[in-house]
Amino acid sequence: MLDSTSGFDPSGPVMVGVDGSAASAPAVSCAFEEAAAWDADLLAVQVRRARHGDWPADLEESALDISEALAGWREKYPQVLVRQEVVVGNPAVKLAEAAADARCLVTGTRGLGGFAGMLLGSVSQGALHHAQCPVVTVPARDDRPSPPQH
């Protein structure tokens, strides 16, 4: 849990970046735990890279990704008010911008590459550089529980 001396906005939501992968599940778990512990709202954000194509279908796919990532957690933490948002652009920059009024930003890391688990991913590292709030980076191999089954 975050320390009250870390400089966060005590009225802001806990924000979590959701990318639709299984690697973001530990970050979602951590974000719900933090939001429940602080009696805070939760803002789940997915960032889509700008591309040419069927934007309405992309938006729908992102909304579904977020809903699937949150499935089960809403029932486990019914006291946590959850909002969802989809934005377009550079993930690290857009997550940091969306977290401007957040208590903290929770990101996951996939640990890809030869030094898995030792290095932060580019989005997590970028969020650390751009965010004005504390950033919590949760490794993909976290021992947090799987989402509750409904």
pLDDT digits (tens, 9 = 90+) for 8-41: 567 899 999 998 788 789 999 999 999 999 999 9
Distance between CA 64 and CA 69 in Å, rounded?
9
Residue 32: other Cβ atoms inside 10 A: 25
Distance between CA 35 and CA 43 in Å, rounded?
10
Distance between CA 113 and CA 127 in Å, rounded?
19
Tell which residue, 72, 22, 33, 27, has the closest CA to residue 45. 27
Distance between CA 5 and CA 3 in Å, rounded?
5
pLDDT digits (tens, 9 = 90+) for 38-89: 999 999 999 888 766 666 777 888 888 899 999 899 999 999 999 999 998 8
pLDDT greater at residue 112 or residue 105: 105
